[in-house]
Structure 1
Amino acid sequence: MDFALFMERYGYKILLALMVLMITAFIGWEVVFKVSIIIKGLGLETGGAFLVIIVLLIIVFRLGEQES
């Protein structure tokens, strides 16, 4: 299979996967950035920030379990 045939068959799937990956990474980075701003705004040290992140992760996973 040559490259042109490969891109004709699978090119749109590769582009779609790359777009989804970039959008997900952008949204994830925005969430991490906002959480770090909130933690700095609260004046928490490293241990407190770690605790806040753990609590937020637990809340998110619990909400995900309830929806499914």
Structure 2
Amino acid sequence: MSKITKSGAYSISEATYHADALLNVPTLNKTTAHVMLTRSPRHAWLQHPRLNPDYEPEVKPTFVLGKA
């Protein structure tokens, strides 16, 4: 999928959404906003795939069970 250039509804994969690869700039998603409000902006930065160059997604067996 190419980069999004205008607002609208788009069909994107879960992997693309979580990789934050839809715009030329990092975006704010629900999880990042929640972390920023309940922990700190630094915690949000650490868990963001495009802001933290050392980011590695956490993989747990329970994550697989949650996918339909």
TM over 0.5: no
Q: Which has the higher helix share?
A: 1
Higher relative contact order (CA 8 A, sep 6+): 2
TM-score (ref. length: structure 1):
0.31
